[in-house]
Amino acid sequence: MRAKRVVGNWKMHGSLGRNAELLGECARRLGGQDRPVGVEVAVCVPFPYLAQTQAALAGTALAWGAQDVSAHAQGAYTGEVAAPMLAEFGARYVIVGHSERRAWHGETSALVAAKAAAALAAGLTPIVCVGESLEERESGMTETVVGGQLSVCIETLGLDLLARCVVAYEPVWAIGTGRNATPEQAQAVHAFLRRRLGKAGDVVSVLYGGSVKPSNAAALFAMPDVDGGLIGGAALSIEDFEPVCRACA
């Protein structure tokens, strides 16, 4: 049984004042009695706001997490944040291998797999992101690229640990561009990824990310292999995030 999930990725946005308002609205509209039934909703916030998020969402139906994690459990790694530290703040999720980190921080699929392993060791659920560029899609390389990114995780973690991960398909050309993959394009890649997951594909949620908004969420989430979404811009406003979460119910 695959869980349905909608996870907000706040990226590098927020302030204490703005977060208080957004988290309060999320708790009230998505975390209480009127919450969307059968959907796990979470927000992945910048590191400094984890304590604030924990305080605001503890006791609600909402989960929270971070957007990156060190591959190391502790040590002389200036500027890094370890998975056990995230766990201390009640985090359930951590995003690993987002295309923005692969592109601008030189993260390889091997490092992403090591980060996923570190997260799992601390009891967190890694959300492993894969996705192709526009150039790769147009040259027919989509399956080669996303399959290659995922296979490093499969080899590193093995199927048992992989079954405890979430996978997110985020075509790079659809992130922050307003241009989402069509439901059919998303479905085709999700079905491919699920086949790649083998037995773990029966339990791993595969989320779609890239310009999900209230107007397209229902059609994307209706696809048989789309188990929910990883939401960027639309997670920053409750007026957008709430209908996106409800579209998954």
Q: Where along the sequence are the contacts to ligand 13P (CB under 6 A)?
A: 9, 98, 170, 175-176, 209-212, 230-234
- Is position 155 annotated as part of the catalytic site? no
Alpha-carbon torsion angle 96, 239, 62, 233, nearest 10: 10
User: Rounded to the nearest whole angstrom, what is the least distance from the CB of residue 160 to ligand 13P in the complex?
Assistant: 26
Q: CA geometry: angle at 61 spanning 55 and 64, to 5°?
A: 55
Closest approach, Cβ 159 to ligand 13P, in A, equals 25
**What is the smallest separation between the CB atom of 130 and ligand 13P, expressed in angstroms?**
12
Q: Given 98, 132, 136, 190, which residue is catalytic?
A: 98
Q: Which residues contact 91 (CB under 8 A, 6 or more apart)?
A: 50, 64, 65, 66, 124
**DSSP of 74-135:** SSS-TT---HHHHHHTT--EEEES-HHHHHHS---HHHHHHHHHHHHHTT-EEEEEE---HH
What is the nearest approach in angstroms of ligand 13P to the Cβ of residue 33? 28
What b/e string do you get for 166-175 counting C-beta neighbours within 10 Å, with b at 16 or more? bbbbbbbbbb
Residue 219 makes CB contacts below 8 A (sequence gap 6+) with 183
Nearer to ligand 13P among residue 33 and residue 53 (C-beta): 53
Which residue number, 84 or 243, has a Cβ lying nearer to ligand 13P?
Answer: 243
Report how far residue 3's alpha carbon sits from residue 204's, in angstroms, rounded to the nearest whole number.
8
**Separation between Cα atoms, residue 110 and residue 105, nearest integer Å:** 14
Our CB check for ligand 13P shows the closer of 7 and 113 to be 7
The distance of closest approach from Cβ of residue 234 to ligand 13P in the complex, given in angstroms and rounded to an integer, is 6
Name the residue nearer to ligand 13P (CB basis): 220 or 230: 230
Nearest-CB residue to ligand 13P?
Answer: 232
Identify the active-site residue in 136, 170, 190, 242. Answer: 170
What lies within 8 Å, CB to CB, of 59 at 6+ separation is none
Residue with tokens 């009891």: 123
Residue 98: active-site member: yes
Burial classification of residue 79, based on how many CB atoms lie within 10 Å of its CB (0-12 exposed, 13-18 middle, 19 or more buried): exposed
Closest to ligand 13P by CB, 152 vs 244, is 244
Active site residues: 98, 170
